[in-house]
A and B are shown apart, each in its own frame.
Chain A
Amino acid sequence: MNIEDLLGHVGLRLGLQCLTGRLGFDRLLTSPDVSRPGLCLTGYTHKFLSHRIQIFGETEITMLSEMNPGKRKKALANVFSFPVIGSIVAKGLEVPPELLEASVKAGAALFRSHRDTTPLINDLTAFLNEVFAPREVLHGTLVDVFGEGVLCVGRSAIGKSEAVLGLVERGHRLIADDTVSVRRNGDTLLGSGDPVIGYHMELRGLGFVNVPELFGVGAVKERQQLDLVVRLVDADRMGEMDRSGLETLTTEILGLSVPLVEIPVLPGRNLTVLLEVAAMLNIRRKNTGSTSSEQLNQTLLEKLQQRRGPDYPP
């Protein structure tokens, strides 16, 4: 992302007014954080973060205005002797001519915004955090089932899209088919689709299906937190699978552990219903802290204990 992209994405929202034409538009942003150059203006340049957007708030502008022109020029020359990526003067404050001059000389963009400094910084960093968040593109289908974000994965042609189509027909909402872009935001994962593919699904034999066109806008959703991964596996793997239901699997996405369920695909199995139940079980586990399997086993263990008696074996 360069300065021009930034202006295109949040220019209006942040009320950015460009004072330097297209100067420095090609400079690349490398950090989601911003910098307040106040300390640097005093001459303390150690650890000055010039690669971040510089925000000139009331503090900086007042400080500059209290300097005599010569000192002001020198202080700004000092700041712009570093490769400053671009600056914003907030709060609709008057831009000192020396700042504009120094920006132009350094070939760096200078903006002005009517917005107050702190909210401006909050919105800018929120946007930049989104841009710089770790992301990964996964092969699978993301669907919102009862509010749970279920990512359905499995080898090609195993029936992911068909199973999810069934979910959509039952009133659940599609986020993305086949290609899911996942972004990490703190401890949560957010999934969304590809802007070009949109809400199309590819169904073998039917071609591409535009889901909101057929099922209505309520059948789709722009983004969704990812809560569960369901992997459809070939039936020949069933022999190795745990049947007690006590084994809990997880998978790692962008460094976060996500619950995983493996469902063997067999003729006659209704994958749609199984996916729906998998989502419900995940909700139940989060609400009660244990699974149905664990609770059933607990009941059984208590019964086994009773049968054995307190002084068994004799």
Chain B
Amino acid sequence: MKTRTLTVPNKLGIHARPAALIVRKASEYRSEVFISNGVDEVNAKSIMGVMTLAAAGGTRISISTDGPDEDSALEGVCAVIETGFGEEML
């Protein structure tokens, strides 16, 4: 199990498009991937779950991965978030 905490870097936060990008990346790995906003934890392979977080720009979220490729899964998913989904940054 690996965990990393980061800040949602884009202005609009995790709306449908960023959620789709996270889910697509998380689905590439065999490991389980979770995202938490400190209150709720959701499966990062479920778009509805990720949208439910309603993580606004600037929110602290933590990514955790668990499974055979947990290291690369953590790197991959964090990289997608850190790049700000190609949107306007805070």
Which residues in A have some Cβ–Cβ distance to B below 8 Å?
Answer: 239, 242-246, 293, 296-297, 300-301, 303-305, 307-308, 312-313
B47 neighbours in A (Cβ, 8 Å): 243-244
> Contact between B57 and A243 (Cβ–Cβ < 8 Å)?
no
A-B contacts at CB below 8 angstroms, number? 54
> Contact between A297 and B27 (Cβ–Cβ < 8 Å)?
no
Beyond the given pairs A296-B16, A303-B54, 7 more chain A to chain B contacts, judged by CB atoms under 8 angstroms and listed by A's residue number, are: A244-B16, A244-B17, A246-B17, A297-B17, A301-B15, A304-B55, A313-B57
Interface residues of B: mostly helix, strand, loop or mixed? loop
Q: Which residue of B lies closest to A312 (CB)?
A: B58
Could you list 8 A-B pairs, sorted by A, with CB under 8 Å?
A239-B27, A243-B23, A243-B24, A243-B47, A246-B16, A246-B20, A307-B59, A313-B90
> Contact between B12 and A304 (Cβ–Cβ < 8 Å)?
yes
Contact of A308 among B23, B24, B56 (CB under 8 A): B56
Q: Which residue of A lies closest to B54 (CB)?
A: A303
Q: Count chain B residues whose beta carbon lies closer than 8 angstroms to a beta carbon of A.
A: 21
Which residues 9-43 in B have Cβ within 8 Å of A in the complex? Answer: 12-17, 19-20, 23-24, 27-28
B20 neighbours in A (Cβ, 8 Å): 242-244, 246
> Contact between A304 and B24 (Cβ–Cβ < 8 Å)?
no
Cβ of B61 within 8 Å of any chain A Cβ, yes or no, is no
Cβ of B51 within 8 Å of any chain A Cβ, yes or no, is yes
> A308 with B16: in contact, given A243-B23, A243-B47, A300-B51 (CB under 8 Å)?
no
